[in-house]
A and B are shown apart, each in its own frame.
Chain A
Amino acid sequence: MSYVIDRRLNGKNKSTVNRTRFLRRYREHIKKAVEEAVSRRSITDMEHGEQISIPARDIDEPALYQGKGGRQTIVHPGNKEFVSGERIPRPQGGGGGQGQGKASNSGEGMDEFAFQITQDEFLDFMFEDLELPNLVKKQLTGTDTFKTVRAGISNEGNPARINIIRTLRASHARRIALSGGSRNKLREARAELARLRVEEPDNLGDIQALEAEIERLRARIDKVPFLDTFDLKYNLLSKQPSPSSKAVMFCLMDVSGSMTQATKDIAKRFYILLYLFLKRNYERIEVVFIRHHTSAKEVDEEEFFYSRETGGTIVSSALKLMQEVMAERYPVNEWNLYAAQASDGDNWNDDSPICREILTKQILPFMQYYTYVEITPREHQALWYEYENVRGAFPDSFSQQQIVSAGISIPCSANCSSGDSCHET
């Protein structure tokens, strides 16, 4: 007789723990590989996993086995022209081919143990040493979000939450308590009855009395109900307020004529990096794209990166718009606010002090973090120096960085968002 069972719906990740153990054991190797990958890759494919190689000797599991040498006889199949007693030169090449079966498994290099890690694991390793600055979970007062957690057992509740095991246990205990005495008496009476029937079959009076007693005890035991309302136990759930973990990220970019597509690409990487990093720390993230030349506009992602504009530059227009959006849609008590601004440093000169004004008065007091990158090989202009003043006022939540080429953008901006080591180079 055979049973056929469909196990396909069972979990498929039985090896997850073992896999994690492996990654844990070789975390140094993996970290190194990830770091190398980070410096090699463009940020656009930071979202993929990575192939990791570890030297095979580092992960060998040692065992006692016979080494090369001595006298070995091996039987092989497929003889073509050998005759017995023939002598053939020993093949060179470290015992592959002819030698031990295992040595040349498939001809593929066995020196490196290579495997794939997932995107999540890759990012974990990449961001491992970095921490999100000013990570404050906003606590809400009025419209708090709750999560329900189990909080033990209670005597009251609704039927859907009955805890069957506890209920039956209570029922069992109650029945023992209430009928235990009667059961003992019943057992004695029965034994006595059996004895009387054998030894004194004529003693009808006593026998009848006993039978009546047995009947009475039985009835009494039967009256103890199997389940009483008193027995019912319910799983108790209680509501706990949960701190909000929503974040909004503002992406601000200068799209004036001086910004080329290459500059925008670099900016994009910078945004993605910050976005990925935020995603690891917040459950929900919204992104607001604001682009500006002389006037600012909120746009979608496609337009943000790819549409071309020309004209002058007034940075404060973007900051004003951002401030409006903040006030309108993202109340500070519910949202964690982040912003990333990219520009080539050009600004209409009289505008830069206004930018500082808006930033320090209306924006930065409410921000978790604000980063500014200037993508230009040229000299700094007024905007940069105004922003330096801003940084003086908000050293914890503001940082700025200059990027000259894409090559250094990745580590730099990663550092930027870590907040602690961000100084111009």
Chain B
Amino acid sequence: MKREPISTGSEWTFELIQTYDREIARIAKRYALDTYPNQIEVITAEQMMDAYASVGMPIGYNHWSYGKHFLHTEKHYSRGQMGLAYEIVINSDPCIAYLMEENTMTMQALVIAHACYGHNSFFKGNYLFRTWTDASSIIDYLVFAKQYITQCEERHGIDAVEELLDSCHALMNYGVDRYKRPYPISAAEERQRQKEREEQLQRQVNDLWRTIPKMAGKESHDEGARFPSEPQENILYFVEKHAPLLEPWQREVIRIVRKIAQYFYPQRQTQVMNEGWATFWHYTLLNDLYDEGLVTEGFMFEFLQSHAGVIYQPGFDSPYYSGINPYTLGFAMFRDIRRICEDPTEEDRRWFPDIAGSDWLATVTFAMKSFKDESFILQYLSPKVIRDLKLFSILDDDQRDELEVAAIHDDGGYRLIREQLAAQYNLGNREPNVQIWNVDRRGDRSLTLRHFQHDRKPLGNSTDEVLKHLHRLWGFDIRLESMRGEDVTHSFQVPPRHESRDHDRRLDLASPI
């Protein structure tokens, strides 16, 4: 059956967007893509820059760092050094997708397929998002956060709040629970609880630091025990609950930063999968539209050109190279899974006996739902994709003068490359492993952290600055021991030890002046 194309020109209208959306939704349904309802918002380029600056959130508290981000984007965009993303999509229910006014009809259709059906179904299906985020309450929570922070600014002054947020942001990546499932609550509950929490928190903290002597018998076994008894990876949480000098509102602000960090945590772990999945689906859905005769060849040319741009992967020696393009890798892998299911070679049967020849839709959906980048690559990266991308692995050991090519795309190298690429996407390897080790409760109240080195990698240059921020939150001395195995190879101290005796306790942070 040959049908009339939906549109032939490049101009879009609201009616056309709706028609495209309806057709794409119809095809998406055929593939059983399960999505939140979509809210498609058409915005201008300036508004897109606003959205950029607030990391895509439709609403956020005010902070200079977002202004910095905005100025950066604005400058690069206005000089033509950078195109804006075609879309931004927000993990919320309904799922909000921004379309830019400047896009052509083809681009709008591409974005609808990519964001409203690709990303959207990923947000709803992937286990990390299901576990860690609550799409229905995030907007409400952000509204609460913005209001609360504004109130704090009115009550305590912009500077005090800004300093506190600076410190929290420095430790933002250490404000997430990696294993515990948070208990989702609605924003209304959140507001109500916040009040009770303020009072109760302060009481708890006071208890911990109680200096009234205990009954003689009880005290003895307590001496020498570390606090916390197990190392804590969620530094912000620990500070929020146990820092001795913070005011209740300061604890609440830390909590807000922590919650938002937690919300973004799954996104940081599923970049390849998320983009790969969305790219895979815009490719599949729009090709189906073409097969049904609903779009013209001109539409397809424009679409394919953009698509090719999105999945372009410059080689390691290109001046444009900046690491592996997650769109390329993810798209290649999902396409490859489909190929292995539909048309397996002998090699595929050896490598993937469980999925070769199986139902492709069930297989890619299972893969989307049950993995994060690291495990997805470890599970599904096939020799064919490694060959296609010509992946190779470089070993850079600072104890040797030369780099070594550890593996290339050959029989001996597939497994190694797969393991190493997967490890590269493991947040645990990418971020230094720093944990709260001990608090000197009876002595100077100093806080000791431990950094457990991975492959002897040291801490970066701004560590001292981060520790100053932590010092501002904690209020007493901070120590950081960098451990290689059982040995301390390097240690940091804030404020520096020789000064801490006679000097003012609270250090000034590097001020902007």
Contacts and interface: CB of A to CB of B under 8 A. Distances in A.
Interface residues of A, number: 71
B173 interface: yes
B387 to A, nearest CB: 10
A29 B323 CA distance: 34
A67 interface: yes
Interface in A85-141: 85-90, 97-99, 101-102, 104-108, 113-116
A97 B322 CA distance: 8
Contact of A90 (B14, B49, B78, B403): B403
B432 interface: yes
A313 B324 CA distance: 76
A12 B42 CA distance: 12
Contacts of B412: 84
A15 B404 contact: no
Contact of A22 (B39, B68, B323, B394): B68
B284 interface: no
A75 interface: yes
Provide the main secondary structure of the chain B interface: mixed
B421 interface: yes
B512 A59 contact: yes
| Interface core residue of A6, A10, A29, A77 (most chain B CB under 10 Å) | A77
Nearest to A51: B75
A78 interface: yes
Nearest to B78: A116
Given A14-B47, A18-B63, A101-B322, A5 B42 contact: yes
A247 B277 CA distance: 64
B459 interface: yes
A21 to B, nearest CB: 4
A73 B396 contact: yes
Contacts of A83: 405, 408
Given A2-B116, A10-B47, A18-B53, A67 B410 contact: no
Given A61-B65, A104-B322, A78 B314 contact: yes
B420 A62 contact: no
B513 interface: yes
Contact of A64 (B75, B405, B407, B432): B432
B394 A74 contact: yes
Contact of B420 (A61, A73, A105, A106): A73
A82 B510 CA distance: 46
B47 A73 contact: no
B21 A24 contact: no
Interface stretch (B222-230, B286-294, B460-468): B460-468
A1 to B, nearest CB: 6
Interface in A30-88: 58-80, 82-88
B259 interface: no
Contacts of A154: none
B67 A76 contact: no
Provide the main secondary structure of the chain A interface: loop
Contacts of A104: 322
A4 interface: yes
Nearest to A10: B47
Nearest to A77: B389
A282 to B, nearest CB: 30
Interface residues of B, number: 108
B405 A82 contact: yes
B71 A22 contact: yes
B421 A60 contact: no
Contacts of B44: 8, 12
B89 interface: no
Interface in B34-80: 37-44, 46-47, 49-50, 53-54, 62-68, 70-72, 74-75, 78
B314 A73 contact: no
Interface string B342-379: 00000000000000000000000000000000000000
Nearest to A52: B71
A281 to B, nearest CB: 26
B40 A3 contact: yes
A163 B59 CA distance: 30
Contacts of A5: 39-42
Contacts of A23: 67
Contacts of B71: 19, 22, 115-116
B406 interface: yes
Contacts of B42: 4-8
A77 B391 contact: yes
A82 B417 CA distance: 14
Interface stretch (B182-190, B211-219, B450-458): B450-458
Contacts of A13: 46, 50
Given A2-B39, A84-B413, A115-B75, A75 B420 contact: yes
A148 interface: no
B457 A84 contact: no
A423 interface: no
B155 to A, nearest CB: 18
A71 B396 contact: yes
B25 interface: yes
Contacts of A24: 64
A20 B432 CA distance: 34
A65 B174 CA distance: 11
B403 A69 contact: no
Given A3-B39, A75-B324, A84-B407, 17 more contacts: A3-B94, A7-B41, A12-B46, A17-B67, A19-B71, A22-B64, A28-B513, A60-B462, A66-B457, A68-B398, A72-B396, A77-B315, A77-B316, A78-B317, A85-B404, A89-B402, A113-B72
Interface of A: 1-8, 10, 12-15, 17-26, 28-29, 58-80, 82-90, 97-99, 101-102, 104-108, 113-116
10 contacts: A21-B162, A62-B170, A68-B398, A74-B396, A75-B324, A80-B317, A84-B407, A85-B404, A89-B401, A116-B74
Closest 10 CB pairs of A and B: A78-B315, A101-B323, A22-B67, A70-B457, A62-B462, A18-B67, A62-B465, A70-B456, A2-B38, A115-B71
